[in-house]
């Protein structure tokens, strides 16, 4: 049965009516630059069947939660007005910003509350502003939090692998990709934010101004405010890319070469992008016989390598070397010299020469194939982990050569290292403890495409988490999901006390993004984040 609006929807909408004049009065004082008509929030609440249905599920297709309404703002002032109304009520509705709804465990859902359709603000002028300073360090863009990375037509230092998600969404989580080893995650490449807090305040913040909110919001999982603008660092864009995959059957060699490639990122002699994948043997022998990178004959070659070596998995380093007209004459020699330093299986280096745009949107093209095959809008029980460098071989032995040894193919598994020094520990985003200089991102991005797949994948994910706990691997979840407050306390570790205090300051009613399950909503006069409400 499809979700439908409940009777409380009508009560929610009509409850706004007595306070419209109040919004106009507040706006004239605090938001004088905004058109007063934009503060008519009632007309922007949609309760029709299609709107409610779309807002009741997310990319994960695992959790369903029906909101009472979907709010379509046309400016950040609308969001301010909505939140100010909500917190004026004895029992405020929860509110959740939703870009593309690309969460996998209901984080972008608002059961019985209000979903803010952030993309509604992108229908007009995107408000790009680029400072064309002569210094590359001073190139930046002001981008709305509702905008897709694919919309920009610009070159941020760090791209996520999938571009059809919003800037506000990735900055609320971290934003990682193959350039993170060099520049850090996307949250390490932001100069300034505009954030609407759970108090209905629009606050501009930076490392030097309202810095506690700035660092809290970056990687803050939407708990402290809604990002409506981000000033993002840019760099000059190359024209073309040598896109490379090199294969390994031995995990020790694979990880050693990966760590070599990220060890001197500023030398200019290596890859501009470094990631890696683990392809289980059954993926090659039984999986979908198509690839956005490999040809059919190359897939046959890789499958034969599995059979000849008896390997449990094939490991790939995926690298990219950028070039333009000035460097085109020697980029091939540069790549050849780099490959000579690595210890992959001889004859298993595969190179594509593509445009920069084609390389960046490679996952978008794969999405179109999956949609055509009916394999996109399916459950995605993803599990993303950060694994300490010292335990990555133990993780491989216990998970890829143990728990998942005979797993059926269901989607890509990423595995690549990052330099901790490129992450700012003041931000909310959590990384593994222990202080090691390198940790690995492991993304088990699997899909449930057949009957019984979801239950099996969930069991395997649970077994992986249990293995990490039992063996003391020290993993930290990325795009985290925890079932209890204790799980969240362990996740944030020593940051927990400070985050609880920031929650009390910026969202004392506990209305922001409750789908994360971090801080229960306030009840009986208690504040969200207080010790007695956890």
Active site residues: 102, 161, 275
Contact 320, 272 (CB under 8 A): yes
* Strands, E assignment, 180-339: 190-196, 202-205, 226-233, 240-248, 273-280, 313-323
Paired residues of 275 in beta bridges: 318
- Distance set, CA 83 to CA 25, 113, 167, 306 (Å): 15, 12, 21, 56
| Owner of token pair 């990375």 | 149
Report the distance separating Cα 259 and Cα 242, nearest Å: 20
What count of other Cβ atoms lies within 10 Å of the Cβ of residue 247? 21
Taking the alpha carbons at both ends of the chain, their separation in whole angstroms is 34
Would you state the torsion angle of the CA atoms of residues 84, 88, 89, 91, taken in this order, to the nearest 10 degrees? 80
Is the distance from CB of 357 to CB of 287 less than 8 angstroms? no
Nearest to 291 by CA among 204, 350, 214, 224: 350
Instruction: Tell me the sheet residues that pair with 378.
Output: none
CB-count exposure of residue 464 (10 Å: 0-12, 13-18, 19+): buried
d(CA 175, CA 169): 9
Of 293, 266, 271, nearest in space to 337 by CA: 271
Gap between the Cα atoms of 119 and 92, Å rounded: 24
Token look-up 């301010």 returns 80
* Contact by Cβ (8 Å): 278, 249: no
Q: Count helices and strands (H / E) in the chain.
A: 17, 16
């Amino acid at each position: 049965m499809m979700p439908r609006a409940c009777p409380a929807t009508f009560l929610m909408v009509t409850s706004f009516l007595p306070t419209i004049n109040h919004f106009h009065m507040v706006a004239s004082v605090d938001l004088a630059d905004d058109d007063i008509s934009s503060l008519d929030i009632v007309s922007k609440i949609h309760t029709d069947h299609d709107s409610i249905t779309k807002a009741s599920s997310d990319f994960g297709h695992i959790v369903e939660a029906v909101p009472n309404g979907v709010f379509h703002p046309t400016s950040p002032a609308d969001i301010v007005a909505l939140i100010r109304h909500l917190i004026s009520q004895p029992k405020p509705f929860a509110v959740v910003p939703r870009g593309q709804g690309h969460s996998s465990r209901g984080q972008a859902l608002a059961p019985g509350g209000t979903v803010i359709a952030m993309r509604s603000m992108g229908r007009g002028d995107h408000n790009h502003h680029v400072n064309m300073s002569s210094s590359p360090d001073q190139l930046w863009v002001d981008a709305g939090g509702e905008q897709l990375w694919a919309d920009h037509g610009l070159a941020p230092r760090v791209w996520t692998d999938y571009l059809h998600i919003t800037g506000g969404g990735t900055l609320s989580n971290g934003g990682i990709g193959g350039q993170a080893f060099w520049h850090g995650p996307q949250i390490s490449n932001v100069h300034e934010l505009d954030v609407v807090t759970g108090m209905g305040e629009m606050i501009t913040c930076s490392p030097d101004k309202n810095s506690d909110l700035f660092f809290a919001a970056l990687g803050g999982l939407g708990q402290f405010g809604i990002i409506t603008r981000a000033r993002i660092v840019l760099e000059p864009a190359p024209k073309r890319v040598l896109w490379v995959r090199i294969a390994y059957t031995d995990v020790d060699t694979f990880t050693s070469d990966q760590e070599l490639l990220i060890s001197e990122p500023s030398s200019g002699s290596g890859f501009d992008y470094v990631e890696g994948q683990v392809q289980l043997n059954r993926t090659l022998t039984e999986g979908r016989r198509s690839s956005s990178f490999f040809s059919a004959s190359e897939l046959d070659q890789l499958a034969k390598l599995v059979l000849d070596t008896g390997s449990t998995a094939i490991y790939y380093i995926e690298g990219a070397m950028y070039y333009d007209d000035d460097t085109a004459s020697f980029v091939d020699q540069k790549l050849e010299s780099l490959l000579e330093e690595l210890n992959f299986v001889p004859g298993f280096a595969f190179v594509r020469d593509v445009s920069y745009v084609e390389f960046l949107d490679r996952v978008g093209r794969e999405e179109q194939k999956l949609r055509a095959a009916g394999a996109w809008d399916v459950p995605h029980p993803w599990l993303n982990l950060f694994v300490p460098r010292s335990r990555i071989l133990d993780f491989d032995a216990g998970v890829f050569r143990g728990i998942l040894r005979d797993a059926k193919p269901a989607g890509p598994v990423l595995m690549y290292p990052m330099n901790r020094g490129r992450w700012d520990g003041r931000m909310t985003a959590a990384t593994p403890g222990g202080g090691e200089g390198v940790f690995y991102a492991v993304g088990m991005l699997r899909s449930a495409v057949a009957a019984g797949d979801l239950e099996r994948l969930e069991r395997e994910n649970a077994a992986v988490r249990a293995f990490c706990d039992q063996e003391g691997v020290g993993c930290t979840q990325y795009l985290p999901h925890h079932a209890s407050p204790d799980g969240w306390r362990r996740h944030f570790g020593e940051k927990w006390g400070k985050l609880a205090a920031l929650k009390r300051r910026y969202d004392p009613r506990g209305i922001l993004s409750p789908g994360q399950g971090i801080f229960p909503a306030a009840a009986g006069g208690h504040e969200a984040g207080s010790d007695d409400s956890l």
